[in-house]
Amino acid sequence: MKKKNQVLATEGDILVDLTFHCVPASLLTEFAEKIVRPYYSGNLNVAIQDLLHKALAEQEFVLSHITHIRNSAEV
């Protein structure tokens, strides 16, 4: 089966309902108590969006540095 690449709509174009499976209630409770309540005024939706944005930004940063290191090693 061939893998199809799809271009997703840009930020803000689509909204998706998200369901988590097999996530321990204790982990969600700890996240809510230590992160959501003090830093996001209890808004779990905004906290998760911010977490996703930060994870993507970190991934881009890491990949750019790996590419830079690989290109430097090849020279």
Number of domains in the chain: 1
Q: Would the pTM of this model clear 0.85, i.e. be above it?
A: no
What pLDDT is stored for residue 8 in this prediction?
59
- What single string gives the DSSP state of each residue in 23-73? --HHHHHHHIIIIIHHHHTT-HHHHHHHHHHHHHHHHHHHHHHHHHHHHHH
What pLDDT is stored for residue 65 in this prediction?
80
Express each pLDDT in 10-20 by its tens digit: 656 788 898 98
Please check whether residue 42 is in contact with residue 36, taking contact to mean a CB–CB distance below 8 angstroms.
yes
For residue 5, tell me if it sits in a domain: no
With H, G, I as helix, E, B as strand and everything else as coil, classify residue 4: coil
Has residue 3 got a pLDDT over 60? no
For residue 11, tell me if it sits in a domain: no
Per-residue pLDDT averaged across 26-50, rounded? 96
Which domain range does residue 40 map to?
25-74
CA distance linking residue 16 with residue 30, whole number of Å: 24
For residue 9, tell me if it sits in a domain: no
What pLDDT is stored for residue 69 in this prediction?
73
For residue 7, tell me if it sits in a domain: no
